[in-house]
Structure 1
């Protein structure tokens, strides 16, 4: 390792420890000998100058905090001596110029995808079942049990074999031979199921918001068709859902089968009808084959979760470089998690192509922060205990690193929750910072693949879009190999550049998008779906 510390930006007055440091250690850094004053774990921040109380703290070239008390050179930044602080933004101050990466090796690249009649191209071929209201969750679960068992989409698990052995009194390591693994009936279609707790009981705006999200899932290019269950009396009426679907696509050509229980008779009669109709739809969808498509057809969600002090200097900027390549060839990267853009608003506002989008971004950010404050919280409470333990001690510090996922390309569109991506180039989507809520939202806005950076590890997946995990450090990749797809730890060790790692990420995305490699989340059957509930319950 070339150094034990790294300064991310020339204007920073703190550095990141790349290894564990101990009080009394002397570190050679930027031509000076720096004495470490306190035991400091890797990923945490060390003062490079003497800081007095109320002095600003800069990282990634932006304000990320303020000193609560004096911190001497070589001292450790903690939640006891630093508080959250971020620059405010009121207007666009300039239009940021952009030097696009060299795309000569990418401009003609293709992936093998599922072409839809509206011109979108999917990375998966899914028939989706979901309810308009939580009252239908049980019927969705009944259908899931029937279709998964009869179509053999889920093979026997190690956990099922363990329970079988316990029941039979056999040794725990007895082979899986007793549980037969049937071959799937269809080889070119997946059947997935969504349940949720919405559709009624809250404010009407929540039902409208949910209708837009669910319509986005139907319109997502990874979906070949859908079976939708309604009770009949709920807030999220069928016509509200149909209107939301029409907003996404004026003349949607996919089969969308809708059933209303209060009009169908008994449960058995309704389920029998659903099974017959859906089976015919699934058979037809299975005939759709992968065909070549330019990578400009990819819509790539950019997500982070379980972040650590290395996320902002390895995995996130590497994903940002992959995002820039995709934007340069005409694809659509999607950056979300608005609470984790706090402190970098000015940079993002200046990157907006249109003044209208710059104004809309500021409005959405301020409205969101106000709603958090009104609820007795605030963006400053965003870092989780895990974030703080691994070096992200203020929201602005976490945000400055999280925003690196979006690279440096111009922002072509600002979208509110539930709106669909239609423009090539980088799109900003208003979502919570919550991992699953944000991932759920990006897929509902059209993401056909999601790349998810993590420093601590998370199994998050999605029912209809592959979610690839990028580890910020190799220790995590070795400890949790069943959930990590890509290890960016080589950046920390100085063995690979950000650009090299970014290209490796994009290559892996193309392989997954083509069906050549399965994401670890899909291999685990990790199908997470949590809508954002913005209002109160009534």
Structure 2
């Protein structure tokens, strides 16, 4: 990256730069020895042209085309929705091409950073020691929350003493009036959540007459996790609140015997997520996650990337990092399957970015995707996961889920992530079933919303990437070892399920 005090050029091939601060009309800016004069006021995070473009010419950022010029663009012009549009269409016949990064994963020797976590009986590691109550259906969602609240009151002493980290219910509106693959998806997400290592014990709370029957849900839970699961059908119970309380109390007593122990970085499975992105997300926060993801993958841990619609336009470079042809084919099929999901609804695959993204300086889906995939660093792509599947192969995993914050973050937790790293340029208070580390892409957000944000990635611009990486790793290890995220401290924990079918 080359930068002046006003703009930043991400890649040597880029034909645009990003304004690091508002640029006045007529202001002269210099990057890589090239001088351009701003034609109009250019807002922070927005793009200024470094080269002339004719109509139809590709505009390049991150070294990748992010769309085509819809009008003539002169050096110094503001480049945005008025003169830049997507070039995305439909499905693509991807071709595997050899890439240096598609090498085998280095052996993890267990050296390096350590953290304090819980080693479960199945060998997986947890960052939290909690009891989760998962309703099979929306009809008992409020009951599940009532059970959790009263249990938190009963066991406040154990929580305060650090013997357990909490008792939480995750309500949702689904589980009935669903058919086929749609019901299967709900069941898979709940089964994955039940298997998450952060839940030392799980109560599956059913109603009794729902489509998502308890026996089928239990059968969907991986074998290694079923021993920690208890179930209760509310219609079959006498006093369901009393019976649920007794089951929770027994799980709390068992969980309270667990002790944190020193664990290697390789024991972590971490979700990578962005939401409310801006023009800085791909410059500061997402590359910060990418460098951590590279370090985690190299150590033998599992970084998990999702939000498939938000890699459209940048997927070829990601797929070329696949460790073998089967993984490449699985990733390509996943991307095209998601594009077909859009096309079957009569929608363009480029129906993105959001209004907030656009206001923050992102113009096309290609631009958003090129910034979003920075979260995955340069690690080889080791596995491709269906929605609800478990991450188990060391190295970068690509997970099927949409871009919606709550849906994709829940999918990451269902895949086994014990932390979610969530970058944002616009900000959001919401957290998810596992500790959600909010990473601001710009200082203005970090200073305005300290009750939302855990880490300010903009320090990479002032102090350099090495300093930012060291501070970020220290913060993540502290969270993994028990320090609450801001979202946890404010009770911001929720889940959402990907609803795809008809409702009866």
Q: Same fold (TM over 0.5)?
A: yes
Taking the TM superposition and a 5 Å limit, the aligned residue runs for 1:402-481 are 402-463=372-433, 465-481=434-450
* Counterpart residue number, 2:453: 484
Contact 1:414 1:428 in 2 (8 A): yes
> Counterpart of 1:343 in 2: which secondary structure?
coil
Which blocks of at least 5 consecutive residues in structure 1 are unaligned? 154-181
Which of 96, 109, 116 is the equivalent residue of 2:113?
Answer: 109
Which of 221, 230, 235 is the equivalent residue of 1:257?
Answer: 230
Q: Given the alignment of the two structures, is residue 524 of structure 1 paired with residue 504 of structure 2, yes or no?
A: no
Which of 353, 366, 375 is the equivalent residue of 1:383?
Answer: 353
> Counterpart of 1:381 in 2: which secondary structure?
coil
CA distance in 1, matches of 2:382, 2:113: 23
CA distance in 2, matches of 1:185, 1:315: 35
Rg larger in 1 or in 2?
A: 1
> Counterpart of 2:29 in 1: which secondary structure?
strand
Size of the alignment, in residue pairs? 500
CA distance in 1, matches of 2:426, 2:180: 37
CA distance in 1, matches of 2:278, 2:259: 40
Q: 1:18-63: CA deviations, max 9, x gaps?
A: 1111221111222232111111011101111111111111111111
Which blocks of at least 5 consecutive residues in structure 2 are unaligned? none
User: For residues 89 and 61 of structure 1, do their structure 2 counterparts lie closer, same or farther at Cα, with a shift above 3 Å needed?
Assistant: farther
Taking the TM superposition and a 5 Å limit, the aligned residue runs for 1:232-271 are 232-245=208-221, 248=222, 250-252=223-225, 254-265=227-238, 269-271=239-241
Which of 271, 288, 292 is the equivalent residue of 2:262?
Answer: 292
Q: Given the alignment of the two structures, is residue 151 of structure 1 paired with residue 155 of structure 2, yes or no?
A: yes
> Counterpart of 1:380 in 2: which secondary structure?
coil
Give the deviation of 1:138 after TM superposition: 3.0
Q: Given the alignment of the two structures, is residue 330 of structure 1 paired with residue 285 of structure 2, yes or no?
A: no
Give the deviation of 1:70 after TM superposition: 1.0
Contact 2:108 2:266 in 1 (8 A): no
User: For residues 201 and 407 of structure 1, do their structure 2 counterparts lie closer, same or farther at Cα, with a shift above 3 Å needed?
Assistant: same
User: For residues 106 and 317 of structure 1, do their structure 2 counterparts lie closer, same or farther at Cα, with a shift above 3 Å needed?
Assistant: farther
CA distance in 2, matches of 1:366, 1:102: 30
> Counterpart of 1:312 in 2: which secondary structure?
coil
Query: What's the RMSD between the two structures over aligned residues?
Result: 2.3
Give the deviation of 1:441 after TM superposition: 0.4
CA distance in 1, matches of 2:159, 2:325: 55
Contact 1:91 1:359 in 2 (8 A): no
CA distance in 2, matches of 1:65, 1:527: 37
Contact 1:103 1:325 in 2 (8 A): no
CA distance in 2, matches of 1:409, 1:376: 35
CA distance in 2, matches of 1:104, 1:346: 28
Contact 1:323 1:406 in 2 (8 A): yes
Q: Given the alignment of the two structures, is residue 210 of structure 1 paired with residue 186 of structure 2, yes or no?
A: yes
> Counterpart of 1:470 in 2: which secondary structure?
strand
| TM-score, structure 1 normalization | 0.88
